[in-house]
Amino acid sequence: MIVRRAQIEDFLSISELDRTAWSENRVADYIPDGEHIWRFWVEYSSVFVAKHGTRTVGAAIAFRANQSGLFMCHKLFVDHEFRNLGAGSQLLRQLCEDIDRFGADCVTTVDPVNEAMLSVCSRYGFTDKELVRSYYRSNEDRYVLLRRAGRGSGDRTGRL
C-alpha cells in the first residue's frame, strides 16, 4: 500500500469511497461529500490517498481556515477492509507533515466513541481536546482537537 498526494484523476474514487467508508458511523447519512467538492479539494487543498494497487482504500483532507495560521482536517477515512493496517496513520502523518510546511496549527473533530481515531490523533500531536455537546445535532457530540504547529510527525508504526 502506498500513500501519496491525491491527483485530479483520484477524485471520483475518493468520493466513491467517501459514500461507503462511513456506513458504520452512528449518523452515517450526513457525512459523505459529493464528487463536485472532491474535485475542487484535490486541486486546491491538502488531499492524500492510500492506494492498494489501483484501488483507493483511504483518503485524508485538510484545508486552510479563515483564521490565520490554522488548517482544518476535514476528513480521514479508510475502507473497512483495510482498517487496522496502518493506512489511517500514514494518511494522518502525511497530512500533518504537509501542514507543518506552513507552520500552521490544525483542528479537527472526532466522535467521542471513535477510540481508534482519538488514539492516532493523540500520537500525531492533537493534544488540546475539548468535548462539545450537540456539535452537529443533539445526538452528535464531538471532541474538537487541536494540533499546534510543529508537533512532529508522530508515531510511524501506529495502526488505525
The 10s digit of each residue's pLDDT in 29-59 is: 777 788 889 999 999 999 999 999 999 999 9
Q: What are the structural domains, with CATH classification, of the chain? A: 2-104 (3.40.630.30)
The 10s digit of each residue's pLDDT in 79-135 is: 999 999 999 999 999 999 999 999 999 999 999 999 999 999 999 999 999 999 999
Report yes or no on whether pTM surpasses 0.75: yes
Task: Identify the pLDDT of residue 156.
Answer: 39
The average pLDDT across 1-12 equals: 94
Report strand pairing: 126-132 vs 142-147.
Answer: antiparallel
Dist. CA 155–CA 56, nearest whole Å: 23
Dist. CA 99–CA 124, nearest whole Å: 12
Give 34's DSSP letter: P
